[in-house]
Amino acid sequence: VQLQASGGGLVQPGGSLRLSCAASGLSFSNYVVGWFRQAPGKEREFVAAVARRGGNAVYSESVKGRFTSSKDNAKNTMYLQMNSLKPEDTADYYCAADRSIIWGMIRRPSEYDYWGQGTLVTVSS
């Protein structure tokens, strides 16, 4: 199983980026998928998660209304559209997936079995 995250980069405050995470070795339709981020010196924090069928997504309060997470089960790919970016959004962003996670636990990094490598997002003028 492999998750491959991409799409990070340098963007000015107020700008947008779209992260992608492609999976191999598993079928996304059977997995809850999540996005987490980790800034230097801080713990990894929950950003967003999408339900197995893709119809339900939840977000942290810090990104709600600005970020949109989705997944294309046919392509085995998940996305994080980030708009109105702020300097405090600067972090390494990670995608994660788990088949058996309980929906009430989706904000806990320890509940996910599979992780992609981080992709760095830097928001700066």
Residue 99: predicted pLDDT: 93
Residue 28: predicted pLDDT: 87
Residue 107: predicted pLDDT: 94
Residue 47: predicted pLDDT: 98
d(CA 71, CA 94): 15
Residue 76: predicted pLDDT: 93
Residue 25: predicted pLDDT: 93
Per-position pLDDT tens, the chain of length 125: 999 999 999 999 999 999 999 999 998 889 999 999 999 999 999 999 999 887 789 999 999 999 999 999 899 999 999 999 999 999 999 999 999 888 899 999 999 999 999 999 999 99
Sequence-separated (6 or more) residues with CB below 8 Å from residue 65: none
